[in-house]
Amino acid sequence: MDTIYALATAPGRAGVAVVRVSGSEAWAACRRLCGSLPGPRRAAIRPLRDAGELIDEALVLVFEAGASFTGEASVEFQTHGSPAVVSRLLAALSGMDGLRAAEAGEFTRRALENERLDLAQVEGLADLIDAETEAQRQQALQGFTGALSRKAEDWRASLLRAAALLEATIDFADEEVPEDVSPEVHEILADLVTSFRTEIAGVGAAEQIRHGFEVAIVGPPNAGKSTLLNRLSGRDAAITSEIAGTTRDVIEVRMDVGGMPVTFLDTAGMRETEDEIESLGIDRARKRAEAADLRIILGEDDLGVELREEDVRVAAKCDLGVVGSGLPVSGETGEGVSELLSLVSDVLADRVSGAGTATRLRHAEALKVSSEALELAQEWLYSGGDSAELVAENLRVAIRALDSLVGRIGVEDVLGEIFSSFCIGK
Protein backbone atom coordinates (compact mmCIF):
# COMPACT_ATOMS: atom_id res chain seq x y z
CA MET A 1 0.00 0.00 0.00
CA ASP A 2 1.42 3.40 -1.02
CA THR A 3 2.13 6.06 1.52
CA ILE A 4 0.01 9.09 0.65
CA TYR A 5 0.33 12.77 1.43
CA ALA A 6 -1.77 15.88 0.91
CA LEU A 7 -2.52 19.33 2.20
CA ALA A 8 -5.36 18.77 4.68
CA THR A 9 -6.29 22.41 5.13
CA ALA A 10 -7.81 24.66 2.46
CA PRO A 11 -5.32 25.87 -0.14
CA GLY A 12 -4.18 29.49 -0.02
CA ARG A 13 -2.73 31.86 2.53
CA ALA A 14 -3.66 31.06 6.12
CA GLY A 15 -2.37 31.18 9.67
CA VAL A 16 -1.41 27.54 9.67
CA ALA A 17 -1.45 24.79 7.05
CA VAL A 18 -1.58 21.07 7.81
CA VAL A 19 0.09 18.56 5.52
CA ARG A 20 -0.46 14.96 6.43
CA VAL A 21 1.23 11.77 5.42
CA SER A 22 -0.21 8.31 6.00
CA GLY A 23 1.20 4.85 5.41
CA SER A 24 4.17 2.66 6.21
CA GLU A 25 6.75 5.23 4.97
CA ALA A 26 5.24 8.18 6.85
CA TRP A 27 7.65 8.09 9.75
CA ALA A 28 10.67 7.67 7.45
CA ALA A 29 9.51 10.74 5.51
CA CYS A 30 9.24 12.65 8.76
CA ARG A 31 12.73 11.59 9.83
CA ARG A 32 14.17 12.81 6.53
CA LEU A 33 12.51 16.20 6.86
CA CYS A 34 12.96 16.75 10.60
CA GLY A 35 16.05 14.76 11.45
CA SER A 36 14.33 13.18 14.44
CA LEU A 37 10.81 12.03 15.30
CA PRO A 38 8.85 13.51 18.17
CA GLY A 39 7.29 10.84 20.41
CA PRO A 40 3.90 9.59 19.18
CA ARG A 41 1.04 12.03 19.75
CA ARG A 42 3.34 14.67 21.20
CA ALA A 43 3.35 17.88 19.25
CA ALA A 44 6.89 19.20 18.84
CA ILE A 45 8.52 22.02 16.90
CA ARG A 46 10.96 20.82 14.28
CA PRO A 47 12.89 22.47 11.47
CA LEU A 48 11.80 20.96 8.15
CA ARG A 49 14.74 20.61 5.77
CA ASP A 50 14.81 19.68 2.11
CA ALA A 51 18.23 19.04 0.56
CA GLY A 52 19.85 20.83 3.47
CA GLU A 53 17.70 23.91 3.04
CA LEU A 54 15.26 25.04 5.73
CA ILE A 55 11.63 24.94 4.46
CA ASP A 56 9.93 26.15 7.63
CA GLU A 57 9.72 25.54 11.34
CA ALA A 58 6.68 23.38 11.91
CA LEU A 59 4.70 21.73 14.64
CA VAL A 60 5.05 18.03 13.95
CA LEU A 61 2.70 15.32 15.15
CA VAL A 62 3.35 11.62 14.73
CA PHE A 63 0.74 8.85 15.07
CA GLU A 64 1.38 5.15 15.46
CA ALA A 65 -0.31 2.56 13.27
CA GLY A 66 -3.56 1.56 14.94
CA ALA A 67 -3.91 4.89 16.73
CA SER A 68 -4.50 7.47 14.02
CA PHE A 69 -7.35 8.81 11.92
CA THR A 70 -6.57 6.44 9.05
CA GLY A 71 -5.45 3.56 11.27
CA GLU A 72 -2.03 3.72 9.58
CA ALA A 73 1.21 5.21 10.83
CA SER A 74 0.96 8.87 10.00
CA VAL A 75 2.50 12.28 10.43
CA GLU A 76 1.19 15.82 10.40
CA PHE A 77 3.26 18.86 9.57
CA GLN A 78 1.54 21.97 10.86
CA THR A 79 3.43 24.68 9.01
CA HIS A 80 2.99 28.39 8.62
CA GLY A 81 0.07 28.74 6.22
CA SER A 82 2.10 30.02 3.32
CA PRO A 83 1.44 28.77 -0.20
CA ALA A 84 5.21 28.75 -0.86
CA VAL A 85 5.98 26.71 2.26
CA VAL A 86 3.23 24.23 1.41
CA SER A 87 4.36 23.76 -2.20
CA ARG A 88 7.97 23.29 -1.16
CA LEU A 89 6.96 20.72 1.47
CA LEU A 90 4.73 18.86 -0.99
CA ALA A 91 7.54 18.90 -3.54
CA ALA A 92 9.93 17.42 -0.98
CA LEU A 93 7.44 14.66 -0.15
CA SER A 94 6.79 13.89 -3.82
CA GLY A 95 10.49 13.22 -4.30
CA MET A 96 10.53 10.46 -1.69
CA ASP A 97 10.35 6.77 -2.55
CA GLY A 98 7.05 5.07 -1.83
CA LEU A 99 5.15 8.32 -1.45
CA ARG A 100 2.50 9.74 -3.74
CA ALA A 101 -0.13 12.48 -3.60
CA ALA A 102 -3.44 11.32 -2.11
CA GLU A 103 -6.63 11.19 -4.14
CA ALA A 104 -9.80 12.92 -2.97
CA GLY A 105 -11.09 11.18 0.14
CA GLU A 106 -8.23 8.70 0.24
CA PHE A 107 -7.34 9.22 3.92
CA THR A 108 -10.98 8.58 4.81
CA ARG A 109 -11.10 5.59 2.49
CA ARG A 110 -8.24 4.11 4.48
CA ALA A 111 -10.05 4.88 7.72
CA LEU A 112 -12.99 2.88 6.28
CA GLU A 113 -10.78 0.03 5.12
CA ASN A 114 -9.14 -0.12 8.54
CA GLU A 115 -12.59 -0.09 10.17
CA ARG A 116 -12.00 3.17 12.00
CA LEU A 117 -15.28 4.35 10.45
CA ASP A 118 -18.14 2.55 8.70
CA LEU A 119 -19.75 3.73 5.48
CA ALA A 120 -22.62 5.59 7.16
CA GLN A 121 -20.06 7.46 9.27
CA VAL A 122 -17.99 8.26 6.19
CA GLU A 123 -21.08 9.78 4.60
CA GLY A 124 -21.66 11.77 7.78
CA LEU A 125 -18.07 12.98 7.66
CA ALA A 126 -18.47 14.08 4.03
CA ASP A 127 -21.58 16.01 5.03
CA LEU A 128 -19.84 17.50 8.06
CA ILE A 129 -17.07 18.92 5.91
CA ASP A 130 -19.66 20.38 3.56
CA ALA A 131 -21.88 21.72 6.36
CA GLU A 132 -22.45 25.47 6.14
CA THR A 133 -25.32 25.84 8.58
CA GLU A 134 -26.34 24.52 11.99
CA ALA A 135 -29.05 22.23 10.64
CA GLN A 136 -26.52 20.69 8.25
CA ARG A 137 -23.87 20.37 10.95
CA GLN A 138 -26.23 18.68 13.39
CA GLN A 139 -27.51 16.23 10.81
CA ALA A 140 -24.00 15.41 9.59
CA LEU A 141 -22.65 14.93 13.08
CA GLN A 142 -25.42 12.44 13.87
CA GLY A 143 -24.31 10.30 10.96
CA PHE A 144 -20.62 10.74 11.71
CA THR A 145 -21.04 9.76 15.36
CA GLY A 146 -22.86 6.60 14.33
CA ALA A 147 -26.58 7.24 14.87
CA LEU A 148 -27.54 5.33 11.73
CA SER A 149 -24.86 2.72 12.29
CA ARG A 150 -26.21 1.95 15.76
CA LYS A 151 -29.75 1.68 14.43
CA ALA A 152 -28.61 -0.60 11.64
CA GLU A 153 -26.86 -2.75 14.23
CA ASP A 154 -30.02 -2.95 16.38
CA TRP A 155 -32.21 -3.77 13.39
CA ARG A 156 -29.77 -6.43 12.32
CA ALA A 157 -29.77 -7.97 15.80
CA SER A 158 -33.58 -8.14 15.74
CA LEU A 159 -33.52 -9.83 12.36
CA LEU A 160 -30.93 -12.33 13.52
CA ARG A 161 -33.17 -13.09 16.48
CA ALA A 162 -36.14 -13.61 14.15
CA ALA A 163 -34.02 -15.82 11.91
CA ALA A 164 -32.87 -17.89 14.89
CA LEU A 165 -36.44 -18.35 16.10
CA LEU A 166 -37.41 -19.43 12.64
CA GLU A 167 -34.45 -21.76 12.39
CA ALA A 168 -35.76 -23.54 15.45
CA THR A 169 -39.06 -24.10 13.60
CA ILE A 170 -37.25 -25.50 10.59
CA ASP A 171 -34.99 -27.78 12.64
CA PHE A 172 -37.93 -29.14 14.54
CA ALA A 173 -40.13 -29.42 11.46
CA ASP A 174 -40.70 -33.16 11.87
CA GLU A 175 -40.98 -33.02 15.59
CA GLU A 176 -42.99 -31.12 18.07
CA VAL A 177 -41.89 -27.45 17.91
CA PRO A 178 -40.90 -26.46 21.44
CA GLU A 179 -43.26 -23.52 21.36
CA ASP A 180 -44.94 -21.46 18.72
CA VAL A 181 -42.34 -18.84 17.86
CA SER A 182 -44.33 -17.10 15.18
CA PRO A 183 -45.93 -14.43 17.41
CA GLU A 184 -42.51 -13.11 18.36
CA VAL A 185 -41.28 -13.25 14.77
CA HIS A 186 -44.44 -11.43 13.68
CA GLU A 187 -43.85 -8.74 16.23
CA ILE A 188 -40.20 -8.23 15.27
CA LEU A 189 -41.07 -7.95 11.59
CA ALA A 190 -43.98 -5.58 12.17
CA ASP A 191 -41.83 -3.28 14.34
CA LEU A 192 -39.03 -3.23 11.81
CA VAL A 193 -41.33 -2.50 8.88
CA THR A 194 -42.79 0.42 10.84
CA SER A 195 -39.33 1.78 11.71
CA PHE A 196 -38.11 1.45 8.14
CA ARG A 197 -41.16 3.23 6.78
CA THR A 198 -40.64 6.12 9.18
CA GLU A 199 -36.97 6.38 8.27
CA ILE A 200 -37.68 6.20 4.53
CA ALA A 201 -40.32 8.91 4.89
CA GLY A 202 -37.74 11.22 6.50
CA VAL A 203 -35.08 10.89 3.83
CA GLY A 204 -36.58 13.57 1.57
CA ALA A 205 -36.38 16.08 4.41
CA ALA A 206 -32.81 15.08 5.26
CA GLU A 207 -31.77 15.39 1.60
CA GLN A 208 -33.35 18.83 1.58
CA ILE A 209 -31.32 19.90 4.63
CA ARG A 210 -28.19 18.72 2.88
CA HIS A 211 -28.91 20.40 -0.44
CA GLY A 212 -30.58 23.54 0.87
CA PHE A 213 -33.68 25.41 -0.18
CA GLU A 214 -34.48 27.90 -2.88
CA VAL A 215 -36.70 30.82 -2.01
CA ALA A 216 -37.74 33.01 -4.96
CA ILE A 217 -38.63 36.69 -4.60
CA VAL A 218 -41.35 37.44 -7.14
CA GLY A 219 -43.57 40.36 -8.09
CA PRO A 220 -44.19 42.98 -10.72
CA PRO A 221 -41.43 45.37 -11.87
CA ASN A 222 -40.33 48.04 -9.41
CA ALA A 223 -41.98 46.27 -6.49
CA GLY A 224 -38.71 46.41 -4.55
CA LYS A 225 -37.55 42.79 -5.03
CA SER A 226 -33.89 43.54 -5.63
CA THR A 227 -33.79 46.08 -2.81
CA LEU A 228 -35.28 43.42 -0.53
CA LEU A 229 -32.71 40.83 -1.65
CA ASN A 230 -29.90 43.28 -0.91
CA ARG A 231 -31.34 43.96 2.51
CA LEU A 232 -31.81 40.25 3.27
CA SER A 233 -28.25 39.43 2.30
CA GLY A 234 -26.73 42.57 3.79
CA ARG A 235 -24.87 43.35 0.58
CA ASP A 236 -25.26 44.94 -2.80
CA ALA A 237 -25.93 41.71 -4.70
CA ALA A 238 -28.42 43.08 -7.26
CA ILE A 239 -28.71 46.31 -9.23
CA THR A 240 -31.71 48.37 -8.17
CA SER A 241 -33.22 51.39 -9.91
CA GLU A 242 -36.45 53.27 -10.33
CA ILE A 243 -36.64 51.96 -13.91
CA ALA A 244 -39.16 49.11 -14.23
CA GLY A 245 -37.52 46.01 -15.69
CA THR A 246 -34.06 46.47 -14.13
CA THR A 247 -33.45 42.84 -13.17
CA ARG A 248 -33.19 40.35 -16.02
CA ASP A 249 -31.06 37.41 -14.90
CA VAL A 250 -31.89 35.42 -11.80
CA ILE A 251 -29.61 36.58 -8.99
CA GLU A 252 -28.77 34.02 -6.32
CA VAL A 253 -27.63 34.72 -2.81
CA ARG A 254 -26.87 31.83 -0.49
CA MET A 255 -27.65 32.45 3.17
CA ASP A 256 -28.02 30.86 6.55
CA VAL A 257 -31.59 31.40 7.69
CA GLY A 258 -32.01 30.20 11.26
CA GLY A 259 -29.61 27.34 10.60
CA MET A 260 -31.20 26.40 7.29
CA PRO A 261 -29.26 26.71 4.03
CA VAL A 262 -31.31 28.99 1.80
CA THR A 263 -30.60 30.42 -1.64
CA PHE A 264 -32.68 33.51 -2.27
CA LEU A 265 -33.47 34.18 -5.90
CA ASP A 266 -34.12 37.70 -7.09
CA THR A 267 -36.08 37.56 -10.32
CA ALA A 268 -37.20 39.83 -13.14
CA GLY A 269 -40.39 41.76 -12.45
CA MET A 270 -43.28 40.02 -14.19
CA ARG A 271 -45.36 41.87 -16.74
CA GLU A 272 -46.38 41.84 -20.40
CA THR A 273 -43.53 43.36 -22.37
CA GLU A 274 -42.42 44.02 -25.93
CA ASP A 275 -38.80 44.05 -24.87
CA GLU A 276 -37.27 40.79 -26.08
CA ILE A 277 -34.52 40.58 -23.47
CA GLU A 278 -36.83 41.48 -20.62
CA SER A 279 -39.25 38.84 -21.82
CA LEU A 280 -36.53 36.18 -21.77
CA GLY A 281 -35.74 37.28 -18.23
CA ILE A 282 -39.39 36.90 -17.24
CA ASP A 283 -39.50 33.37 -18.67
CA ARG A 284 -36.52 32.45 -16.55
CA ALA A 285 -38.06 34.13 -13.54
CA ARG A 286 -41.27 32.10 -13.90
CA LYS A 287 -39.43 28.79 -14.30
CA ARG A 288 -37.16 29.34 -11.33
CA ALA A 289 -39.98 30.71 -9.18
CA GLU A 290 -42.12 27.64 -9.83
CA ALA A 291 -39.27 25.24 -9.19
CA ALA A 292 -38.30 27.00 -5.94
CA ASP A 293 -39.24 25.55 -2.55
CA LEU A 294 -40.99 28.73 -1.47
CA ARG A 295 -41.94 32.08 -2.95
CA ILE A 296 -41.98 35.53 -1.37
CA ILE A 297 -44.59 37.51 -3.24
CA LEU A 298 -44.41 41.29 -3.45
CA GLY A 299 -47.60 42.97 -4.57
CA GLU A 300 -50.21 41.19 -6.61
CA ASP A 301 -50.68 37.41 -6.93
CA ASP A 302 -51.51 37.56 -10.62
CA LEU A 303 -48.03 36.92 -11.95
CA GLY A 304 -48.49 33.92 -14.20
CA VAL A 305 -46.69 31.83 -11.58
CA GLU A 306 -48.33 28.93 -9.83
CA LEU A 307 -48.40 29.85 -6.15
CA ARG A 308 -48.73 27.51 -3.23
CA GLU A 309 -50.42 27.69 0.13
CA GLU A 310 -47.28 28.32 2.18
CA ASP A 311 -45.93 31.07 -0.08
CA VAL A 312 -45.26 34.25 1.85
CA ARG A 313 -47.01 37.47 0.93
CA VAL A 314 -45.35 40.71 1.85
CA ALA A 315 -46.52 44.32 1.63
CA ALA A 316 -43.30 45.88 0.33
CA LYS A 317 -42.07 49.47 0.70
CA CYS A 318 -44.01 49.66 3.94
CA ASP A 319 -42.05 52.79 4.85
CA LEU A 320 -44.20 54.56 2.26
CA GLY A 321 -47.38 53.39 3.99
CA VAL A 322 -48.77 49.89 3.96
CA VAL A 323 -50.52 48.92 0.76
CA GLY A 324 -52.22 45.55 0.43
CA SER A 325 -52.11 42.53 2.69
CA GLY A 326 -49.15 40.51 3.85
CA LEU A 327 -46.23 41.10 6.15
CA PRO A 328 -45.16 44.77 6.03
CA VAL A 329 -41.54 44.91 4.87
CA SER A 330 -39.21 47.62 3.69
CA GLY A 331 -36.04 46.79 1.82
CA GLU A 332 -35.14 50.47 2.15
CA THR A 333 -35.30 50.73 5.97
CA GLY A 334 -35.06 47.07 6.92
CA GLU A 335 -38.40 47.12 8.70
CA GLY A 336 -40.03 43.67 8.84
CA VAL A 337 -36.98 41.93 7.40
CA SER A 338 -36.12 39.91 10.50
CA GLU A 339 -39.80 38.92 10.82
CA LEU A 340 -39.71 37.80 7.18
CA LEU A 341 -36.59 35.74 7.81
CA SER A 342 -38.14 34.03 10.83
CA LEU A 343 -41.29 33.31 8.87
CA VAL A 344 -39.25 31.71 6.07
CA SER A 345 -37.16 29.80 8.57
CA ASP A 346 -40.28 28.49 10.37
CA VAL A 347 -41.93 27.31 7.15
CA LEU A 348 -38.77 25.51 6.02
CA ALA A 349 -37.98 24.04 9.45
CA ASP A 350 -41.50 22.68 9.59
CA ARG A 351 -41.01 21.01 6.23
CA VAL A 352 -37.94 19.11 7.36
CA SER A 353 -39.15 18.22 10.84
CA GLY A 354 -39.56 14.60 9.71
CA ALA A 355 -35.85 14.10 9.03
CA GLY A 356 -34.54 11.04 10.84
CA THR A 357 -31.26 9.14 10.96
CA ALA A 358 -31.43 7.87 7.39
CA THR A 359 -30.27 10.88 5.40
CA ARG A 360 -29.55 9.77 1.86
CA LEU A 361 -31.35 8.16 -1.05
CA ARG A 362 -28.85 5.33 -0.71
CA HIS A 363 -30.14 4.72 2.81
CA ALA A 364 -33.76 4.91 1.66
CA GLU A 365 -33.08 2.40 -1.10
CA ALA A 366 -31.43 -0.09 1.26
CA LEU A 367 -34.26 0.29 3.77
CA LYS A 368 -36.80 -0.17 1.01
CA VAL A 369 -35.20 -3.43 -0.11
CA SER A 370 -35.11 -4.57 3.48
CA SER A 371 -38.66 -3.51 4.17
CA GLU A 372 -40.02 -5.18 1.03
CA ALA A 373 -38.28 -8.42 1.94
CA LEU A 374 -39.78 -8.25 5.41
CA GLU A 375 -43.24 -7.67 4.00
CA LEU A 376 -42.83 -10.78 1.86
CA ALA A 377 -41.60 -12.65 4.91
CA GLN A 378 -44.72 -11.53 6.77
CA GLU A 379 -46.94 -12.82 3.96
CA TRP A 380 -45.22 -16.21 3.94
CA LEU A 381 -45.43 -16.34 7.68
CA TYR A 382 -49.18 -15.71 7.60
CA SER A 383 -49.68 -18.27 4.87
CA GLY A 384 -48.49 -20.98 7.27
CA GLY A 385 -47.66 -24.40 5.84
CA ASP A 386 -44.12 -25.17 4.70
CA SER A 387 -43.05 -21.60 4.17
CA ALA A 388 -40.38 -21.33 6.89
CA GLU A 389 -37.57 -21.61 4.32
CA LEU A 390 -39.09 -18.79 2.22
CA VAL A 391 -39.44 -16.62 5.29
CA ALA A 392 -35.83 -17.33 6.18
CA GLU A 393 -34.65 -16.43 2.68
CA ASN A 394 -36.43 -13.08 2.85
CA LEU A 395 -34.90 -12.38 6.23
CA ARG A 396 -31.47 -12.97 4.70
CA VAL A 397 -32.26 -10.48 1.94
CA ALA A 398 -33.36 -7.96 4.57
CA ILE A 399 -30.17 -8.45 6.61
CA ARG A 400 -27.98 -8.06 3.54
CA ALA A 401 -29.70 -4.77 2.71
CA LEU A 402 -29.01 -3.52 6.24
CA ASP A 403 -25.40 -4.61 5.93
CA SER A 404 -25.04 -2.42 2.87
CA LEU A 405 -26.11 0.59 4.96
CA VAL A 406 -22.92 0.48 7.00
CA GLY A 407 -20.85 -0.83 4.11
CA ARG A 408 -20.43 -4.36 5.38
CA ILE A 409 -21.23 -5.65 1.89
CA GLY A 410 -22.11 -4.75 -1.67
CA VAL A 411 -21.03 -1.15 -1.73
CA GLU A 412 -17.86 -1.17 -3.85
CA ASP A 413 -19.78 0.63 -6.60
CA VAL A 414 -20.91 3.49 -4.35
CA LEU A 415 -17.48 4.07 -2.79
CA GLY A 416 -16.09 5.86 -5.83
CA GLU A 417 -19.04 8.20 -5.83
CA ILE A 418 -18.84 8.94 -2.12
CA PHE A 419 -15.10 9.51 -1.98
CA SER A 420 -14.92 11.63 -5.09
CA SER A 421 -17.19 14.12 -3.32
CA PHE A 422 -14.52 14.60 -0.63
CA CYS A 423 -11.80 17.17 -0.89
CA ILE A 424 -8.19 16.18 -1.43
CA GLY A 425 -6.56 15.83 1.97
CA LYS A 426 -9.56 14.28 3.71
Ligand X SMILES: Nc1nc2c(c(=O)[nH]1)N(C=O)[C@@H](CNc1ccc(C(=O)N[C@@H](CCC(=O)O)C(=O)O)cc1)CN2
Ligand Y SMILES: Nc1nc2c(ncn2[C@@H]2O[C@H](COP(=O)(O)OP(=O)(O)OP(=O)(O)O)[C@@H](O)[C@H]2O)c(=O)[nH]1
Residue ranges in contact with ligand X by CB under 6 A: 18, 63, 67-69, 76
Instruction: Burial-class residue 426 by CB neighbours within 10 Å (0-12, 13-18, 19+).
Output: buried
Could you say which residues in the range 301-320 bind ligand Y, by CB under 6 A? 316-317, 319-320
| Cβ proximity to Mg ion, 169 vs 247, nearer residue | 247
In contact, 105 and 419? CB cutoff 8 Å: yes
Q: By CB under 5 A, how many residues form the interface with Mg ion?
A: 4
Tell me whether residue 268 is annotated as binding: yes
Q: Which amino acid is at 411?
A: V
The Cα 288–Cα 252 span in angstroms is 11
Contact between 225 and ligand Y per CB under 6 A: yes
> Is 281 assigned to a binding site?
no
User: Which runs of E-coded beta strand occur in 157-287?
Assistant: 213-218, 251-257, 260-266
∠ CA(72), CA(75), CA(76), 5° rounding?
A: 130
Q: Which residues make Cβ contacts (< 8 Å) with residue 169, sequence separation at least 6? A: 177, 181, 182, 388
Of 208 and 227, the one with the shorter C-beta distance to ligand Y is 227
Give me the amino acid identity at 210.
R
Q: Of the candidates 71, 143, 146, 224, which one interacts with ligand Y according to CB under 6 A?
A: 224
230 labelled binding-site residue:
no
Give 63 or 380: the residue with its C-beta nearer to ligand X: 63
Please, is 165 exposed, middle or buried when counting C-beta atoms within 10 Å of its C-beta (0-12, 13-18, 19+)?
A: middle
Select 248 or 426, whichever has its Cβ closest to Mg ion. Answer: 248
In the window 22-51, what residues touch ligand Y (CB under 6 A)? Answer: none
Q: Minimum CB separation from ligand Y for residue 235, in Å?
A: 14
Cα–Cα distance, 99 to 76 (Å, whole number): 15
Q: Which is nearer to ligand Y, 79 or 227 (CB)?
A: 227
Where are the extended beta strands (E) located within 281-375? 294-298, 312-315, 327-328
242 annotated to bind ligand: yes
Which residue sits closest to ligand X, CB atoms considered? 67
Out of 9, 70, 142, 247, the only residue in the binding site for Mg ion (CB under 5 A) is 247
267 binds Mg ion per the rule CB under 5 A: no
Min dist CB 143 to ligand Y, Å, is 40
The interface with Mg ion within residues 280-339 (CB under 5 A) comprises none
User: Toward ligand X, which CB reaches closer, 69 or 155?
Assistant: 69
The partner in contact with residue 242, picked from ligand X, Mg ion, ligand Y, none with C-beta cut-offs of 5 to 8 angstroms by kind, is: ligand Y
Instruction: Find the length of the chain.
Output: 426
- Between CA 69 and CA 148 the distance in angstroms is 20
Q: Which of 146, 202, 212, 221 binds ligand Y (CB under 6 A)?
A: 221
**245 contacts ligand Y (rule: CB under 6 A):** yes
* Bridge partners, residue 262, by sequence: 213, 255
Residue 289 among known ligand-binding residues? no
Measured between alpha carbons, how far is residue 191 from residues 182, 185, 256, 278, 376 in Å?
14, 10, 38, 57, 15
What are the residues binding Mg ion (CB under 5 A)?
225-226, 246-247
Residues forming the annotated binding site for (6S)-5-formyl-5,6,7,8-tetrahydrofolate? 20, 76, 116, 426
Residues forming the annotated binding site for Mg(2+)? 226, 247
